[in-house]
Amino acid sequence: MSAARRLGEARELLAEHPVVDGHNDLPWALRKQVRYDLDRRDIAGDQSAYLHTDIPRLRAGGVGAQFWSVYVAAELTGDEAVSATLEQMDAVDQLIARYPGDLVRALTADDMEAARADGRIASLMGAEGGHSINNSLATLRALHRLGVRYMTLTHNYTIDWADSATDEPRHGGLTEFGREVVREMNRVGMLVDLSHVAATTMRDALAVSAAPVIFSHSSSLAICDHPRNIPDDVLELLPVNGGVAMATFVPKFILPAAVAWTQAADENLRAHGLHHLDTGPEAMALHRAFEAEHPRPVATAATVADHLDHMREVAGVDHIGIGGDYDGTAFTPAGLDDVSGYPNLIAELLERGWSKPDLAKLTWSNAVRALRDAEAVAREQAASRGPSNAVPADTA
Amino acid sequence: MADLQDDPHTATAAVGPGSLGVEDVPAPATARGSLERAATLLSVHPVADGCNTLVWTLRQSPYHDIDTPDAGVDTDIPRLRAGGVGAQFWSLLTPREAAAPDQVVSDTLEQIDVALTLMRRYPDSLGLALTADDLADARNRGRIASFLGPVPGRTLTDSLGALRAFHALGVRIVAPAGAPWAEDGLTAFGHEVIKEMNRLSMLVDLTGCPTVAACQLAGASKAPVIISNTAAAALNPHPGNVTDEVLLALRAAGGLAMVTFDTARTGDSLHAVADHVDHVRAVAGPAGVGLGAAFGSEPGRPRPAGLTDPSGYPRLIAELLDRGWSEADLSLLTWGNAQRVLRDAEFTARAAQRRRTA
């Protein structure tokens, strides 16, 4: 089968079973680049000079549902984190209101299916890091009321109640309050996202959660040894839990050679006084200069496929998905350069012999099922438990 | 400005939500005839009260069940019903020292959460109200229309996103007092906040604002502003009371000053409260006076005799009848003015939304 024909088949498949992407940082990019001045980044047209994401490319990529990350910098704490999260959510509201022919708000699995039937991109929100709720379960509920459907328990830093994968552990996983956060998320119907958290936190959360968890953008630790990835023993827990691990495309997490290169590149950014996750114009210029001197190892669709092959092997085909992290990463794999690239990944998997039913689970139905199951757990729990107002032990 | 209040009903039924229990109230100073007329009037034009702090009290001690008479707090549903309360603005303010400086937004979200929990817990008595239509609708269904607010203006640092989130959660009133953008003159961001509140149909509550700031805010807002609980500084120069200058500004701008029942601010008798209501009507006009008792505390807070809890409103209305208030003016005082302010704010918002987007 020719490459062109495989790509055609991939597009056909995506037309019916579009991609549910677990993580896209467009809101943060809009905040950093233009302070949400949506006139200056009109995503109805080509924004490839500034962004990985715009509507024409989402359409070309076969995206049918997007969890828009309402990430706020992990350096923010207290009210600043909460306010910034509210602003991020407000920006998503504005995007949905501004492009009603292409984006539609989705709060439930039914909404996702309705959007697919309607030919619009279901727009969900995910908060990235427990710092966004400022140790307040009422704030968690407010986020849920305002439309947030998953929360990543931590971002890059360990917080008061959960250890991060990329910071010093302080709790050995989740604290007692952390477990209560997971229970409250189950009760209101917000998916627990275990990307970014320490493996100990993953195991603690899986032990507590009555609902499926997700990894909104994490790949396999066995394929690439980076703390942002998922160990096999955790992947093995997903069939019982019902959760979904959504493979990410970030080269520095998925390609061993890129892990080493990135350490050097991050050091370069920090030496210029910038945060190593900055994707602003200045940071990009520095990155380009560094890259001119040090050729960057290039990930490809095959790199992502290697992870998905392994994750399917260990977690099973019902427990994998896709979470590109576009606009949240400076670099992307060749062929998956922006949100129009998903068909190339599907073509690669077709080449590797993945069946169409399996691919439909990967792209669409696993993620929808996880949200639907979380809704069912919430209905069941809300009938027997009231809202929790627990606070972290040291502030009680 | 068009008065959009509902046509007054012909008061035929003497028994209504507001008349429950009134007969049992000893009222030596007032003729029984006035109390009966007050109850009849309240059954048609119930009280839309501008301030009740029960949410904060319940957050401190969540053990009160307000469905039954509860001696541990001055507000419960039987007494709201007995007092003829048809609508309540539930204050979401917290004492300034209660939350750490970087916890104000979360603290406000907690307040909203407690208020929404309260609505869910007593659905046959309290109904979340988001619009002036909800106000009328709740009255028709025998529910107490419950508006959320004010939230403290100091939660908004440089963030209209937070304001819009509060609005999306149901909040309809914001109090700028103490906010850095309103304290010493309205900043550019402060003007932006007021414009956005106008666009979203959120009321500006001037309670606690000094005269200069209050006049500036009243001038900046395209929609009528309120003072959700206050009394006349001309009668009692308490710092929380409103000056005649502000009352005149309200009169010019179609705003509403709602009189509190608080010994420290009004004096310790029902007559003293009636004096404040009289004065506010005289200066702000019959269309500029309302009631905002600020009940919702635990026992111990000094209250004027006869007005110690929400069941007291009929006695105040009877007193005002005795002072010669017309039923038309009384219906504005209890209900009509609050409804008009809400409608005017919505009207302003519809006009603004054609010009401004988020």
Q: Which of B78, B56, B59, B58 is nearest to B67 (CA)?
A: B78
CB contact under 8 A, A145 and B358: no
CATH number for the domain that contains residue A227: 3.20.20.140
Sign of CA dihedral A160, A164, A167, A168: positive
b/e per residue, A26-42, with b = 16+ CB within 10 A? bbbbbbbbeebebeebe
Contacts with B120 from chain A: Cβ below 8 Å: none
Q: Is residue A339 part of a domain?
A: yes
Residue A44: CB atoms within 10 A of its CB come to 13
pLDDT score of B10: 42
Q: Is residue A152 part of a domain?
A: yes
**What proportions of chain A, in percent to the nearest 5, are helix, strand and coil?**
50, 15, 40
A88 CB within 8 Å of a chain B CB: yes
CB contact under 8 A, A80 and B102: yes
8 A C-beta contact, residue B236 and residue B204: no
Q: pTM value?
A: 0.88
pLDDT score of B62: 81
Task: Using CB atoms, pick whichever of B157, B160, B169 lies closest to residue A146.
Answer: B169
List the single residue in B with minimal CA-CA distance to A89: B161
How many Å apart are CA B355 and CA B191, to the nearest integer? 16
Which of B113, B166, B192, B353 to mutate: most A Cβ within 10 Å?
B113
8 A C-beta contact, residue A218 and residue A229: yes
Long-range CB pairs of A382-387 (<8 Å, 24+ gap) are A382/A187, A382/A188, A385/A187, A387/A137, A387/A138, A387/A141, A387/A184, A387/A187, A387/B113, A387/B117
Q: Which of A76, A21, A104 is nearest to A345 (CA)?
A: A21
Chain A: give the shortest CA distance to residue B163, in Å: 9
Sign of CA dihedral A120, A121, A122, A123: negative
Looking at chain A from residue 94 to 113, which residues have their Cβ under 8 Å from any Cβ of chain B? 94, 97
DSSP secondary structure letters along A313-352: HHH-GGGEEE---BTS-S---BT-SSTT-HHHHHHHHHHT
Per-residue pLDDT of chain B (358 residues; tens, 9 = 90+): 444 444 444 444 443 444 444 444 444 555 569 999 999 999 999 999 999 999 999 999 888 889 998 889 999 999 999 999 999 999 999 988 877 888 899 999 999 999 999 999 999 999 999 999 999 999 899 999 999 999 999 999 878 999 999 999 999 999 999 999 998 899 999 999 999 999 999 999 999 999 999 999 999 999 999 999 999 999 999 999 999 999 999 999 999 999 999 999 999 999 999 999 999 999 999 999 999 999 999 888 999 999 999 999 999 999 999 999 999 999 999 999 999 999 999 999 999 887 766 6
Q: Is residue A278 part of a domain?
A: no
Spatial neighbors of B322 by CB under 8 A, at least 6 apart, are B30, B31, B34
Task: Using CB atoms, pick whichever of A82, A91, A146 lies closest to residue B106.
Answer: A82
Number of domains in chain A: 1
How many Å apart are CA B20 and CA B64, to the nearest integer? 22
Answer yes or no: is pLDDT of A150 > 50: yes
How many Å apart are CA B182 and CA B163, to the nearest integer? 15
DSSP secondary structure letters along B109-130: HHHHHHHHHHHHH-TTTEEE--
Task: Using CB atoms, pick whichever of B109, B159, B169 lies closest to residue A136.
Answer: B109
Q: Which residue has the tokens 């019903």?
A: B81
DSSP secondary structure letters along B167-209: HHHTB-EEE-TT-TTTTTS--HHHHHHHHHHHHHT-EEB-TT-
pLDDT score of A1: 66
Two tokens at A265? 């590149």
Burial class of B305 by CB neighbour count within 10 A (0 to 12, 13 to 18, 19+): middle
Amino acid (one-letter) located at A56: P
Complex ipTM: 0.84
Beta-bridged to residue A330, according to DSSP, are: none
Q: Is residue A331 part of a domain?
A: yes
CB contact under 8 A, A97 and B358: yes
CB contact under 8 A, B117 and A387: yes
| A243-254: average pLDDT | 97
Amino acid (one-letter) located at A263: Q
Two tokens at A369? 């099922």
Task: Using CB atoms, pick whichever of B101, B113, B159 lies closest to residue A141.
Answer: B113
Contacts with A187 from chain B: Cβ below 8 Å: none
Amino acid (one-letter) located at B26: P
How many Å apart are CA A123 and CA A66, to the nearest integer? 5
Q: Which of A211, A184, A188, A208 is nearest to A388 (CA)?
A: A184
**What proportions of chain B, in percent to the nearest 5, are helix, strand and coil?**
50, 15, 40
B29 CB within 8 Å of a chain A CB: no
B97 CB within 8 Å of a chain A CB: no
How many Å apart are CA B205 and CA B260, to the nearest integer? 14
How many Å apart are CA B107 and CA B117, to the nearest integer? 15
Catalytic site positions of A: 23, 25, 128, 155, 196, 217, 325
Q: Is residue A267 part of a domain?
A: no
CB contact under 8 A, A90 and B165: yes
List the single residue in A with minimal CA-CA distance to B160: A87
B59 CB within 8 Å of a chain A CB: no
Q: Which of A342, A334, A328 is nearest to A303 (CA)?
A: A334
Task: Using CB atoms, pick whichever of A89, A91, A139 lies closest to residue B106.
Answer: A139
Which of A39, A76, A77, A83 to mutate: most B Cβ within 10 Å?
A83
List the single residue in B with minimal CA-CA distance to A91: B161
List the single residue in A with minimal CA-CA distance to B103: A79
Q: Which of B90, B124, B89, B86 is nearest to B9 (CA)?
A: B86
Percent of chain A exceeding pLDDT 70 equals 99
Q: Is residue A380 part of a domain?
A: yes
Contacts with B160 from chain A: Cβ below 8 Å: 87, 90
Q: Which of A338, A254, A266 is nearest to A297 (CA)?
A: A254
Chain B: give the shortest CA distance to residue A64, in Å: 26
pLDDT score of B63: 84
pLDDT score of B70: 80
Helix/strand/coil (H/E/C) assignment for every residue in B205-239: ECCCCCHHHHHHHHHHCCCCCEEEEECECCCCCCC
On the question of a cis peptide bond just before residue B8, with omega within 30 degrees of 0, the verdict is: no
Q: Is residue A365 part of a domain?
A: yes
- Sketch out chain B's domains with CATH numbers: 47-353 (3.20.20.140)
Q: How many helices and strands (H and E) does chain B possess?
A: 14, 10
A77 CB within 8 Å of a chain B CB: yes
List the single residue in B with minimal CA-CA distance to A133: B106
pLDDT tens digit sequence for A290-335: 989 999 899 999 999 999 999 999 999 999 999 999 999 988 999 9
Chain B: give the shortest CA distance to residue A199, in Å: 29
B162 CB within 8 Å of a chain A CB: yes
CA B30 to chain centre: 26
Contacts with B105 from chain A: Cβ below 8 Å: 79, 82-83, 86, 134, 139
| Domain containing residue A92 | 3-255+299-395
Q: Is residue A304 part of a domain?
A: yes
A142 CB within 8 Å of a chain B CB: yes
pLDDT tens digit sequence for A109-124: 999 999 999 999 999 9
Contacts with B159 from chain A: Cβ below 8 Å: 83-84, 86-87
